[in-house]
Amino acid sequence: MALHRPNEIRAHIHAALNVGATRQEVAEVIYMPVVVDALEVYGQVLAERGEPFPAEERSR
């Protein structure tokens, strides 16, 4: 996903579904790296601003 290769991604999605991966499983492996990267950047921005990450805020 990070390399933006839609034709290759399409082939891999078909292959995953063909061997029994569920639609949910395929969606999770697509979204998870994007979410993790986005949350890391979000945490960095909050740190730069001197603000706590929401999970840290609740534990105080």
pLDDT at 57: 62
pLDDT tens digits, 1-47: 666 788 898 999 999 999 999 999 998 888 877 788 888 999 999 99
**For the chain, what's the residue count?**
60
20 with 11: CB under 8 angstroms? no
pLDDT at 49: 96
Helix (H/G/I), strand (E/B), else coil: 57: helix
pLDDT at 12: 93
Crossing angle for the helix pair 23-48 and 6-18, nearest 10 degrees?
130
Return the structure tokens found at 45. Answer: 């921005």
pTM of the model: 0.59
Cα separation, 43 vs 19, whole angstroms: 37
Residue with tokens 């029994």: 20
